[in-house]
Amino acid sequence: MGAPSGMQRCKGRRSSKPDGTSRDMAARVVQTFSGWRTMSCELDGAASAVAVSRDGSQVVVAGRNILKVFAIEEEAFVEKVNLRVGRRTSVNYSCSDVAWHQLDDNLLATAATNGAVVTWNLSRSSRNKQELLFAEHKRTVNKVCFHQAELHTLLSGSQDGSMKCFDLRRKDSVCTFNGQSESVRDVQFSPRDYFAFAASFENGNVQLWDLRRSDRCERMFTAHNGPVFSCDWHPEDRGWLATGGRDKMVKVWDMASARPRELFCVQTIASVARVKWRPERRYHLATCSMMVDHTINVWDVRRPFIPFAAFEEHRDVTTGIAWRLPHDPHLLLSGAKDCTLFQHIFKDAKRPADRANPEALCFGPRGDVAFAAKEGLSANDPARRALPGDRRNPFFFIRKAPEPYDASLTQQHSGSVCSVLNVFQRCDAKEKLNPLENESESFVELAQRYCLAGRPFAELCDHNARIAMELCRHQVAQTWLILKLLYAGGDASPSPALLPNGGIFCGKDGSSGLGGDGMSERGKSEGHGDGGLEEPNEETEGSDVENLTASVGLYAAAAGLYSGNGEEERLELLDQDTTTSDFPEFSLPPEAFALRHEIVDGPAGLEHLQTNGPDGPGSGDEDGTDEGMRSACQGKVGGSTAGLGITAAESVSLISVSQPLFGQTLPPEVFAPAVIAMLEFYAERGDVQSTVSTLIVLGEKASGGVDTLVQEHWYLSYLELLQRFRLWDVATQVIRLSTCAAISALNHDSTSLNLNCSSCRRALGAKGWLCDRCRRCASVCAVCHHAVKGLFVWCQGCSHGGHLKHMHDWLSASPHCPTGCGHLCEYT
């Protein structure tokens, strides 16, 4: 984005009007402007052009009903002369353009809508300052232009298609240039070539003329599609001509070369009425528009789409713009149809280019990230168009195949700002094991492979746990197992799958090889055996023992995860339990039940767990609510790595889930709150999949405890996600299995098919298969000619079809429709 061209602030205030040396180098020092400010004044009528005196102290505003000279003071415009004097105002004064001579501060020229060209002398003492009147043009004069170096030469361009050169010492034109195109919209003397001037035409042409030969132009070319309303020579670069047209473009031409060459092209949002190069800024020019857009835009021609600066003060179309001083880039004067005259200060301008967003970012549903960033002003340097070297292959994401796609470059505008667009895809080849890596893929996997119904509860849980485990969603897998233990009651023995899982779980995260050397651990814990054994418990709860130990084992396995420092006694006790569960025949040593006993104590057990954390806050709620889990896990996380944090959280939730299990009886109401807390925990973590899947599998067991609306919301969220991944079948299954009335109803929404009669091709009405017109049943099999009952398959192209089997057989032999209609039917 074009660098703000350093607005120098000069210390002193503008001392006095620049004298005659203003064009000398001394005066080329940037003018002071700190004293100037944006200001405006009301006019009597709409302006159509403005012109500034050489020293920038006065401005003339011309319009159909106005012709006034204002002095530009520091705080305001002060009216100096009203040139429209006299009783009756002549049409000669209805101005379309005005010019101020750059050598003579008293000499003005106006172009009138009736074809008159009038010159004015401000030094006349009478009220009427009109000097000369040339009534040679037949139609509106669009433009007048003084020669920069000749005091007496004035050029005009008119709607009648001709340009006239006047010598102000004579009463008529010196010569006439006939463009032989259409109406002349602008004429401009070249500041560098004494005899040259450019003219722009309504038919899109630009002509270059030599003052000395009026018979034909030096060169002519088509610059725009549609009228060229304005042209302006670059003040310094010889031969650069900017043209602005109705085609909403500003083009910069190099006229010095053999053929006019288009150097830049700026696209504006509305047709361009005036173009003026900005002094002292080689690539900047100001434009105003003829309609729609009321702002004055200053463009950096290298930046073709977004204006460098914009002045938005005017409330109606701006008609005239002029830089106040030939060497000051900060002051711009403008007149508009809203009857105001403005002085704009550059520092008050808006900078749309700075506002423009140089980057684009989008997080795709599959975890892809699309990112586009600008490559800087890459000018004409082809080397810059390549990818910068520092953009190496990022880890975590890989860039998709055809790497950079450069949208702007296809336009081939030299010097436009380019962007490189990358789509980063998740790495999924190497890091398959990391659950974060392929969150969306595991989502899809899980959605597809989860078994939600059709088998006994315990089997479903086992199945789902196994799948979750395969995808490294350990916590989810453990949840499934716990659920199974909770709800499947005493009839289910721990699945063999559980044990290896637990072992993998512990071993993989390297928590001191709990599963591995279980025996030695056990030996240690036996040594620690508390006195508080209660044998009778074991006997009375014979049937629950298996479940119990299994869950404790789970818990211990999970607990081992977050506490790599297993030196605490309590933990070793837990570890010991892990090992006990490794014995398939459940030959549990009595010591193991010391732990159980502790946990049976409920509150005490939980407290005890929390003190396990290195700096545990000990603020856990005993009722195992969500808050309790979270605060408890925070304590754990303090000591362990953030990566294990979630697992810690999970293990704590498992604890609270499993805790009620140790009660003497197992009424579902006891652990229902914990299960609900678990559901909410997953939902809160954004894993609505786990929430909904468990909800479905639990069915009536859990749905009672959760607010229907919440459930509904969970379902809808999950369905939305499933649909995003185009898992329609899973979504349908979820809808079917949901226990929510509102969700199940989704499947009852009608799906309508519009049918055509296969013989007359008219749309079938609501009457079913009977066609209104041909009074025939439309659902006749094209092969056997019997009405089809049951599955009817038909081609969408020719509406012919029949029994699925018949059609299948037919089409495996021939690609044509069996009716002989000639249609090449497509069945997929």
Partner 1 sequence: MIHDAQMDYYGNRLATCSSDRTVKIFNIRDGAQTLVAHLHGHDGPVWQVAWAHAMYGSVLASCAYDRKVIIWQEGKHEWEKIHEYKGHDSSVNSVSWGPSEFGLLLVCGSSDGGISVLQRAADGRWEAQKINNAHTIGCNAVSWGPAVSIGSLFGQSPQYIKQFVSGGCDNLVKVWREEDGQWKEEVKLESHSDWVRDVAWAPFIGLPICTIASCSQDGRVFIWRSTGSSWTPKLLHKFNDVVWHVSWSITGNILAVSGGDNRVTLWKESVDGQWACVSDVNKGDDSGLRSSI
CB of 310 or CB of 331, closer to partner 1: 310
Instruction: Name the one range near partner 1 by CB under 8 A: 118-126, 265-273, 562-570, 765-773.
Output: 265-273
Coil, helix or strand at residue 564? coil
Q: Which stretch binds partner 1 (CB under 8 A): 2-10, 22-30, 350-358, 501-509?
A: 350-358
Is residue 374 close enough to count as binding partner 1 by CB under 8 A?
A: yes
Cβ-based neighbours of 652, under 8 Å, separated by 6 or more? 609, 629, 632, 633, 636
User: Is 703 near partner 1 (CB under 8 A)?
Assistant: no
Q: Is the separation of the CB atoms in 566 and 528 below 8 Å?
A: no
| Least distance between partner 1 and beta carbon 36 (Å) | 23
Q: Using an 8 Å Cβ cutoff, are 582 and 499 in contact?
A: yes
Binding to partner 1 in span 538-597, by CB under 8 A: none
Nearer to partner 1, 152 or 374 (CB): 374
CA distance 737 to 714: 14
| Among 331, 341, 637, 677, interactor with partner 1 by CB under 8 A | 637
- Smallest separation, CB 611 to partner 1 (Å): 19
User: Which ranges constitute the DSSP H helices of 471-544?
Assistant: 474-487, 498-508, 518-528, 535-540
What character string, x for contact with partner 1 (CB under 8 A) and - otherwise, covers 591-630? ---------------------------------------x
Neighbours of 543 (CB within 10 A): 11
Which lies closer to partner 1 via its Cβ, residue 319 or residue 442?
442
Provide the minimum distance between the beta carbon of 272 and partner 1 in the complex, in angstroms, as a whole number. Answer: 12
- The size of the interface with partner 1 (CB under 8 A), counted in residues, is 92
Residues 302-321 interacting with partner 1 (rule: CB under 8 A): 304-306, 312
In angstroms, what is the minimal distance from the CB of 155 to partner 1? 33
* Distance of alpha carbon 676 from alpha carbon 707, whole angstroms: 10
Q: Does 685 bind partner 1 (CB under 8 A)?
A: yes
Question: Three-state SS for 221?
Answer: strand
CA distance 560 to 796: 61
Segment near partner 1 (CB under 8 A), from 5-13, 40-48, 237-245, 391-399? 391-399
Interface of this chain with partner 1, residues 437 to 476, rule: CB under 8 A: 437, 439-440
Q: Which tokens is 647 given? A: 């697992």
The smaller minimum CB distance to partner 1, of residues 388 and 663, is found at: 388
- Is residue 141 part of the contact set for partner 1 (CB under 8 A)? no
- Interface positions, 760-819, toward partner 1 (CB under 8 A): none
Stretch that binds partner 1, among 182-190, 535-543, 703-711, 819-827 (CB under 8 A): 703-711
Give yes or no for a contact between 273 and 316, defined as CB atoms under 8 angstroms apart.
no
Nearer to partner 1, 346 or 397 (CB): 397
Q: State the minimum distance, in angstroms, from the CB of residue 481 to partner 1.
A: 22
Listed ranges 170-178, 206-214, 272-280, 707-715: which one lies at the site for partner 1 (CB under 8 A): 707-715
Q: Tell me the helices (H) and strands (E) count for the chain, helix number first.
A: 20, 34
Q: Which residue has the tokens 């004069």?
A: 141
Contact (Cβ atoms closer than 8 angstroms) between residue 405 and residue 421: yes
Residue selected from 709, 763, 787, 824 as contacting partner 1 according to rule CB under 8 A: 709
Radius of gyration of the chain (CA): 43
Angle between helices 603-611 and 642-658 (to 10 degrees): 170
Residue numbers 221-260 binding partner 1 by CB under 8 A: 248
Which residue in 397, 562, 593, 671 binds partner 1 (CB under 8 A)? Answer: 397
Subset of residues 490 to 529 that bind partner 1, contact rule: CB under 8 A: none
Of 172 and 354, nearer to partner 1 (C-beta) is 354
From the number of C-beta atoms within 10 Å of its C-beta (0-12, 13-18, 19+), residue 429 rates as exposed
CA atoms of 609 and 624, how far apart (whole Å): 12
Q: Which is nearer to partner 1, 481 or 683 (CB)?
A: 683
Which of 352/529 has CB closer to partner 1? 352
Q: How far apart are CA 157 and CA 155, in angstroms?
A: 7
Applying the rule CB under 8 A, the residues between 414 and 443 that interact with partner 1 are: 416-419, 421, 423-425, 431, 434, 436-437, 439-440
315, 328 contact by CB (below 8 A): no
Residue 724 binding partner 1, by CB under 8 A: yes
Cβ nearer to partner 1, comparing 262 with 530 = 262
Tell me which of 366, 570, 597, 701 binds partner 1, using CB under 8 A.
Answer: 366
Q: Which is nearer to partner 1, 361 or 787 (CB)?
A: 361
269 binds partner 1 (CB under 8 A): yes
The residue within the footprint of partner 1, chosen from 359, 381, 535, 749 (CB under 8 A), is 359
| Shortest distance in whole angstroms from residue 204 CB to partner 1 | 19
Q: Does 390 bind partner 1 (CB under 8 A)?
A: yes
726 lines the binding site for partner 1 (CB under 8 A):
yes
CB of 270 to partner 1, least distance (A): 7
Select the span of 164-172, 641-649, 753-761, 778-786 touching partner 1 (CB under 8 A). Answer: 641-649
Residue whose CB is less far from partner 1, 345 or 356: 356
| 362 belongs to the binding site for partner 1 (CB under 8 A) | yes
CA separation for the pair 472, 501 (Å, rounded): 11
For the bound state, the minimum distance from the C-beta of residue 300 to partner 1, rounded and expressed in Å, comes to: 12
Q: Which is nearer to partner 1, 176 or 723 (CB)?
A: 723
**Residue 367 in 3-state DSSP?**
coil
The yes or no reply on residue 402 touching partner 1 (CB under 8 A) is yes
DSSP labels, 735-768:
HHH---HHHHGGGGS------B-TTT-PBP-TT-
Contacts (CB under 8 A) with partner 1, residues 58-117? none
What CA–CA distance (Å, rounded) separates 468 from 452?
Answer: 13
- Determine which residue in the list 14, 219, 524, 713 makes contact with partner 1, applying CB under 8 A: 713
C-alpha span between 632 and 613 (Å, rounded): 9
What does each C-alpha distance from 637 to 472, 612, 616 come to in angstroms? Answer: 21, 12, 9
Q: Quick one: which segment of 77-85, 86-94, 412-420, 611-619 binds partner 1 (CB under 8 A)?
A: 412-420
Cβ nearer to partner 1, comparing 304 with 802? 304
Rounded to a whole number of angstroms, the minimum distance from the CB of residue 246 to partner 1 is 13
**Residues 6 or more apart from 790 whose CB is under 8 A from it?**
803
C-alpha to C-alpha distance for 419 and 405, rounded to whole angstroms? 8
Q: What SS3 state is found at 325?
A: strand
Question: Exposed (0-12), middle (13-18) or buried (19+): which is 161, by Cβ within 10 Å?
Answer: buried
Residue 352 binds partner 1 (CB under 8 A):
yes
- Tell me which of 336, 595, 683, 698 binds partner 1, using CB under 8 A: 683
**Cα(550)–Cα(577) distance, rounded to whole angstroms?**
9
Helix, strand, coil fractions of the chain, as percent rounded to 5: 30, 25, 45
d(CA 677, CA 686): 14
CA distances from 491 to 27, 110, 181 (A): 101, 106, 100
Please give the helix or strand (H or E) that residue 315 lies within, else none.
none
